[in-house]
Amino acid sequence: MRKCPVCKKEIKGNAKKQYCSHKCKKYYENNKNKKPVAKTVKLKQKPVDRPEGLNKSASAYWDKVAPTVIERGHLNVLSEDAFAELCDLHSRLKDINAMINAGITQECRECGSKISMPGNRALLQIDDKWSANDNSETRTFKESALSDLKRKYSRQFLEYCKSFYLTPLSNRGDFGLGNGKEKEKDEFFE
């Protein structure tokens, strides 16, 4: 019996058949002209330590996320400043969300009493305008400074997360957490 030169399975069929399947034939044809790949030498990297200037919340985020990012090879000496900025943005967003969720207290202009509004009301501000022509006052709502900061910081934070492959789309579910399970091949992406 003859054996397939690619997969070493027995070839069944007529004597002219050289490969066991069409896939083996394609594999052999595609790989016969390839040059051998030189082995790459992996340099030993200097360990990346947490910077001293981070606040408590940013340091906690660094300690939580950095080991995984280092293990995956996305955090090294060249990218540690950008990752420190990511941790700082996380801390700022956490503080802004706490302020927004705490609510605001305003003073009533008519009676002078304090009005406490529950959380998520700080996303809008009342914009009072007085018209001297017809002696009327108009009230409109506009985006608050906290809401504007949250939107800008969130956009920046997501851009940094994408650059360190911390979003689900960027790693397609393979988070590299070292749980011992290999990522199963998805036939859709092959």
Q: Residue 124 is part of which domain span? A: 53-173
- The reported pTM is 0.55
What confidence score (pLDDT) does residue 168 get? 80
Give the dihedral sign, CA 82/87/93/95: negative
Q: Who has greater pLDDT, 97 or 34?
A: 97
Do 67 and 160 belong to one domain? Answer: yes
pLDDT digits (tens, 9 = 90+) for 60-103: 999 999 998 988 888 888 899 999 999 999 999 999 888 877 76
Q: Who has greater pLDDT, 66 or 5?
A: 66
Going by C-alpha positions, the residue among 89, 104, 108 that lies closest to residue 149 is: 89
C-alpha 44/C-alpha 179 separation (Å) is 24
Q: Who has greater pLDDT, 80 or 180?
A: 80
Do 68 and 116 belong to one domain? Answer: yes
Do 64 and 114 belong to one domain? Answer: yes
CA angle 103, 144, 116 (to 5 degrees): 25
What is the count of structural domains for the chain?
2
Give the dihedral sign, CA 46/48/52/53: positive
pLDDT digits (tens, 9 = 90+) for 111-148: 666 666 655 556 666 777 777 777 777 777 777 788 88
* Mean pLDDT for the stretch of residues 152-156: 93
Report if residue 133 sits inside a domain.
yes
Do 1 and 94 belong to one domain? Answer: no
Do 57 and 19 belong to one domain? Answer: no
Report if residue 44 sits inside a domain.
no
Report if residue 36 sits inside a domain.
no
Q: How many CB atoms lie within 10 A of CB 158?
A: 13
Do 82 and 130 belong to one domain? Answer: yes
Do 73 and 147 belong to one domain? Answer: yes
For helices 80-102 and 56-71, what crossing angle results, to 10°?
A: 130
175 confidence band (pLDDT: 50, 70, 90):
low
Report if residue 65 sits inside a domain.
yes
Report if residue 125 sits inside a domain.
yes
6 confidence band (pLDDT: 50, 70, 90):
confident
Q: What is the 3-state secondary structure (H, E, C) of 45-107?
A: CCCCCCCCCCCHHHHHHHHHHHHHHHHCCCCCCCCHHHHHHHHHHHHHHHHHHHHHHHCEEEE
Do 25 and 57 belong to one domain? Answer: no
